[in-house]
Amino acid sequence: LNGSWDASHKIVQDLHSSQAFWIHAVLHKIEGDEFNSRYWYERAQQSYEAYNDPKQELIFIRNNL
């Protein structure tokens, strides 16, 4: 993210992998848009509730790419 939610969101909107869907989900979790976030978690086949801290979740995703 590097502090740039909008730029990050624009990037993942154009990607169609499960990892991109997961990052998209986390971005909406950070934004506070639970409904949209849950939609992207479902597309990514991940759990909304699995992580309480979105930053830790993004670190996990990055480390497992």
Q: Which domain holds residue 24?
A: 5-63
**For the chain, how many helices (H) and strands (E)?**
4, 0
What integer pLDDT is reported at residue 17 of this predicted model? 95
For the chain, what's the residue count? 65
pLDDT band at 1 (very low <50, low <70, confident <90, very high): low
Count of domains in the chain?
Answer: 1
For residue range 5-61, list pLDDT tens digits in order: 889 889 999 999 999 999 999 999 999 999 999 999 999 999 999 999 999 999 999
Structural tokens at position 8: 């990050």
Q: Which long-range contacts (CB under 8 A, 24 or more apart) does 55-64 make?
A: 57/26, 57/29, 58/1, 58/23, 58/26, 61/19, 61/22, 61/23, 61/26
Structural tokens at position 52: 């309480």
